[in-house]
Structure formats: structure tokens, C-alpha cells
Amino acid sequence: MGRASLFLVLGLSLAFGIIGFSMRRTTTSLVEAQTGYSKYLFARNLARTAIHTTLRAFDRNLTPIPEAGAFNGGSYAVQYQENHDTLWLKSTGMYAESTYTMRVKLFRTTKPFPRVGAAIGIRATPVNFLIAGHAKVDGRNYDSTGTNLVGSGDVPGVATMTSSDSTTVAKEKDEIQGAPPIKVDTSTIDPLPFLDEYKSNADYVYNVSGVYNTVTWGTESNPVIVYCNAGDDTTFSIKFTGNVVGWGILVVRGNVQFNGNFDFKGLVVVDGFNTVVQFGAAGTPQIVGGVIIAGNAGASVALKGTGANAKVKYSADALDKARRIGKLRYYSIIEWYE
Amino acid sequence: MSTFLDIVMSTILFGILALTVARVQTNINSSMCQNQFSVVVQTNAVELARQLEWDFAKIGHHVTGQKVLWADSTSIRFLADLTNTSTVDDVRYFLGDTSQLPATTNPIDVPMFRRVGLYAVKQNWGLTQFRITYYDAAYNKIPTPITTPEKLQRIHAINIGFRIESPEPVYSEHDTTWAAVTWEKMIIPRNLNNLNY
């Protein structure tokens, strides 16, 4: 009897052992199926993250563009090739033993940019416009440096929305050059819809009245957005002294004074009701590109130049370069394979 | 007398033990069946999900012109270069009916057909529900069936949902409990509608 019981117990133990092992193997298979899918998803997300990271690196003009990285326990590698506006990316995400590859072809461009059909395009109407001192407006098409005339592509010096505004501006006609110097052009795009984006993406923001010393805003290859907000109170002003050099988009609200050799290349948007843009007496202050006065009805804009060489010069080339602001760039998908 | 009593008691105890073991064995078998069916349906769900993601993510790749040819709530036909070899494939997904899976006990499972070019493959995943919903760029649902090119061009995102059940009942032949997995995902095919990134 005792021997039989022993065999029975041993037999049962063996049977339960086999059953337990089998159940554990089934559970392991279940976990493997789930974690396998999870790893695959992680690898895919990493490949996508790598594309985002690389595009942001392009937007920030990083040199060199990072080609590998790690995130959340996984890693990724990116290979890229670019040809003008076309960008090819091969992104591979790796997580545990899973890998996922995406091959992407993108068209790189920038968001719509308010077109300027004159050295100064006035969208506001009616407008009080004043040029005082020796500030000049030149609608002839200059190169991006503002030193050489291109010889073609000249535009009006000042474009207004109505003939009465044109008459207002014509009081300053001695300071305005262009083809013709003053013109009614209702196609001037109101920059107001663009301003919120420019303000929220500004690389440099001046919200406090005061005097700011030598400043450099961006470069020709890395244009930026600058927002000078002096407010609508005319006593509240921002002054820049010394050399002020910039590329990109400059949004001005309120009284801003640029002294010394102010040299901005790109688009200047004047936004406000009582805005005075004043060039100082010394040096050769200039805006090369274009100026748009936003459509705030009844806006009062004064361009003052106490020196002899202050100028707003139209340059299609400078405007084109200003468009290439990284933060305003976007990518259209031409091909996407994953 | 004492020996006789021992034998009787031993027999009773052995009987109780044997019954207990048999009951445990039954429960263990049932659990193993449940586990096994869970593995089957979950593995099937993962594989089907990966297949759908693989195919749907490529909709419109290397295709000029119309990319989705028709779209209904349980079927779709689209063009895509599935293998990235500049050869555009004509891909169709559609469901069969329950009579096409007579071997399974589950009364509502249906086969799925995946046709690439002229070759259709009947897939038995244990599908009991399969639903495709289409959305435009504003994420408004587009009513199905979508047949006109104008409406087909509006498709921006595709939501896929399915339920997979075990082919046999989990506990016994006459049981109606099935191991099941549901899966749902919104896929935005990147090659549709000149997306920006």
C-alpha cells in the first residue's frame, strides 16, 4: 500500500509538473506576441521621431545635422540627402531586436509670405503718412546687399490702397523714387493675419522701452523674426544705438528709433496706429527689402531720417532670402514609404 | 476486521483523491485551452494589425492620379507601390461570408480576402467584426460607400477596427464563450492629399 501511494504521488507530481510547464510556455508565447508588437511600435515611433528631429535640425540650421540619437531606451539613425528644395530622408528606428525604416521624400518650402509690390506697401486706409528729414524711399530693385541695382523688377516707391491716400503720400514725393514713385495698388496683402504667427515665433522680442546697444539679428543664411513692441503709447519708445544688423522679418509696433548704421534686410511690417520709425542722424541707416504698413484703419506712420542717407530700398532678392526663416518652414510630402 | 476497515477506508480515500485529481485535470485542461486560444487570437490580431498597417500606410505611394478606387465600410480598393520598386499594385481588401469558413465552430467568423493584382489570398484570422471608416482633412466622417473620384479624393484618414474570435469555444464543444481580441487604429496614409509635415 505504501509503495503504491509513493508511485501515485510521484506520478501526480510529474503530471502537474508537465502541465505547469506547458501552461507557462503558453503564457510566454502570449507575452512574446504582445511585447513583439510593442517593440515594433516603439521602433516605428522612433523612426518617426527621427524624422521630426532631423527636420527641426534643418529648421534651426544646425551644422552638422545630427544623424543618430537615442530616445526612451531605443535609438535611431537618419541618412539625408538634399537638392535645393527637395529633401530625402531614410530613418531607421531601433528598439530591442525590432527595426523600422521609413524612406521619405519631402518638398521644403516656407509658409506664405505677404507680398510687397512696392518699397513701402500701405494696406492701412485712410493713413497718415509722413516722411520727415532725409528719409528716402526707393522702389528700384536692388540686390540683397542694397548696393547694386539689378536693372529689372523695379516697383513703385509707395503703394497705397486709395487715390486719396495716394494724394496724402504724394506730399512727400520728393523723397520717393520708383516705377512709378507712388501708385494705387489694392493687391497689397494685409499682413495682419500673419502677425500672430510672427509674434509667437519671434526669435527676438523687445517689449520694454529703453535703449539697446549693438544688436545682430540672424544672418543671410539664417534669417530670423524680430518683434519690437513699443506699444501704442507714443511716449513709449525703443531705441537701438550703434550697429543694428538683421536679416528676416521685423515687426514694429509703436515708436522705434534706429540710430547708427541700422541695416535690416528683409521684410519690415509696421503694425499699429501711431508708429514712428525713425532713423538717426549718423551713418547710413537702411531697410533693404520692403515695408508693409498693416491694415489698421487710420494708422499714422512717420518715417523720419535726420541723417542724409536713410533709405528704404526695394529688393526682391532680400525678400526672397528673408522667406527662408526656419520657423516658418514646412515640408510637403512627395513620397513616403514605410 | 481492522484490515478490512483499512482497505475500505483506503479505497474511499483513493476514490476521493482520484476524483479530485480528475477535477483538477479538467480545470487545468480548460485553462490551457483558454490560454491557447488567447495566444491564437492575440497572435492573429497582432499579425493582422501589422499587415493592415503595412498596406494602408502605403496607399498612394508612387501613384499619380486617383489613389483610392473605392471605399466601403468593410472593403477598400487602392493603388500603392507596396514593395517600393516603382511598380504600382492594385490592392483590395474585402470580407467573405460565414459559409466560407465551414470548418470552424464559431458561427459568425468570416474570411478576409487580400487581393494584390490578380492574386487573392483567403485569410482566416477568425474575424467576427471588421469596419473601415473614412475621414476628410477636417476629420469629418465620409459616408460609405464612397464611389465618386471627388469624394474618394477627400479621404485623409482611415480608421480600421476589427474583432478576432477563437474558431472554437473556450470551455467545451457546446459552450458559446470565445476568446476574443478587438483592435482599432486611425491610419493617416502619408501619400494622400499632399500632406505637410
Contact B50 A30 (CB under 8 A): no
Give domain status of residue B112, yes or no: yes
Task: Report H helices in chain A.
Answer: 2-59, 163-170, 192-200, 316-322
Contact A335 B58 (CB under 8 A): no
What are the average pLDDT values for consecutive 10-residue runs of chain A, which has 338 residues? Answer: 73 78 75 84 94 89 88 93 91 94 91 84 81 82 91 92 87 85 88 85 88 88 88 75 88 80 89 72 80 77 69 92 84 92
pLDDT for A310 equals 67
Contact B46 A331 (CB under 8 A): no
- The mean pLDDT value for B108-119 works out to 94
Contact B84 A338 (CB under 8 A): no
CA distance A29 to chain B (A): 7
Of the partner residues A15, A29, A333, the one whose CB lies closest to the CB of residue B190: A333
- Residue B9 phi, psi dihedral angles, 5° rounding: -60, -40
Q: Is A43 helix (H, G, I), strand (E, B) or coil?
A: helix
B156 pLDDT above the threshold of 90: yes
Give domain status of residue B16, yes or no: no
CA angle, B142 then B146 then B149, to 5°: 110
Nearest CA in chain A to B31: A23
B190 shares contact with chain A (CB less than 8 Å): yes
- Within 8 A of B194 by CB-CB distance, chain A residues are 332-333
In this structure, are residues B179 and B166 in contact, taking their beta carbons and an 8 Å threshold? yes
What count of residues does chain B have?
Answer: 197
Looking up cell 528704404 gives: A312
* Residue B174 structural domain: 40-187
Return all residues near A105 (Cβ < 8 A) that are at least 6 apart. A86, A87, A88, A89, A333, A334, A335, A336
B3 shares contact with chain A (CB less than 8 Å): no
Give domain status of residue B99, yes or no: yes
What is the DSSP track for B156-183? -EEEEEEEEE-SS-SS-TT-----EEEE
Give domain status of residue B122, yes or no: yes
pLDDT for B162 equals 97
Complex ipTM over 0.85: no
Q: What is the DSSP letter of A308?
A: S
How do B119-135 and B110-116 pair as beta strands?
A: antiparallel
Give domain status of residue B60, yes or no: yes
pLDDT for B124 equals 94
What are the structural domains, with CATH classification, of chain A?
A: 2-110+328-337 (3.30.1300.30), 120-322 (no CATH)
More confidently predicted of A48 and B29: A48
Contact A26 B39 (CB under 8 A): yes
What does the pLDDT look like over B95-110, one tens digit per residue?
999 999 888 889 999 9
Total domains present in chain B: 1
Closest listed residue to residue A224, CA positions, set A237, A232, A215: A215
Looking up cell 509667437 gives: A200
Share of chain A above pLDDT 90, in %: 33
Which strands sit side by side in the sheet containing A237-240, from one edge to the other? A128-133, A300-305, A274-279, A255-258, A237-240, A210-212
B39 pLDDT above the threshold of 90: no
